Amino acid sequence: MLEAEIRRRRRDKDILLMTHIVLGYPSFDASRRIVEQMVRAGVDLMELQIPFSEPIADGPVILHANQKALAAGSTVDRCLEVAGELAREFPIPFLIMSYFNVVFVRGIERFSQELRQAGLRGAIIPDLPHEEGTATLAAMSAQDLEPIFLFSPNTSDQRMREIAQLARGFVYCVARKGVTGQRTEFASLDAYLARCRAATQLPLALGFGVKQREDVAALTGKVDIAVIGSETIRLIDERGIDAVGPFIASLRASNRG
């Protein structure tokens, strides 16, 4: 189970790191090289995004990566093939992240079967409300996949409890309203994270705006996983793939992990 693996990894680290890449950006070969650098630098788990034309939860950096990957010919078939190769090669849990349109067009049961066959551990589908997820959850459960649900600052306590009943693996806590890649004031999250913790005993991940070591340090002791997404893609755009490993390693410099 993903939850058990997260708890096992947490025994040795104050906080885990989860990163996010867009499959096929800047190319599929580059995607593999990026993952290799991230794993060597100590990443604990990873989201692999299947690009989509309207990624509504994503800010301009990840939106641009989605558009470029699609323009370069990225397909769901190729994404799942490469995701399977990565899951077999590297010893960390991999999750698929994409939007429900991709899942629906592929076919919910087929998509779930393909994730399982590829060795992926679950899926993050940010635009799928839990009230409308019955068929998807059943298909994922049949394949022993973990559905990763989201909390946000606007989520009511009651809704958090409802989501927690269906979530598996961990809960992804969105740090603020809006899309990925914008500035987040992590010092102001204590009350929100207390509500998240009261709603579930699952490990908590927090993303949207994690950019530097100080951000990770601010989250240490409050959540189990810090999620780094847009900042890595921005770094690749500005400085190239070889900058990824040192950047990821620098996020850990102040904690025992």
Per DSSP, the residues of 76-137 read HHHHHHHHHHHHHHSSS-EEEE--HHHHHHH-HHHHHHHHHHHT--EEE-TT--GGG-HHHH
Neighbours of 80 (CB within 10 A): 21
> One-letter amino acid identity for 37?
Q
- Reading the block at residue 9, the tokens are 């990894």
**Residue 218: C-alpha distances to residues 96, 154, 183 (Å):** 27, 22, 14
Active-site residue, from 14, 36, 54, 58: 58
**Residue 81: C-alpha distances to residues 38, 127, 132, 220 (Å):** 20, 24, 28, 35
Active-site residue, from 12, 14, 44, 47: 47
Task: Give, as one character, the DSSP assignment of residue 220.
Answer: B
Q: Which helix (H) or strand (E) holds 49?
A: strand 45-49
For this structure, is 58 an active site residue?
yes
For this structure, is 47 an active site residue?
yes
Residues in the chain: 257
Query: Which residues are catalytically annotated?
Result: 47, 58
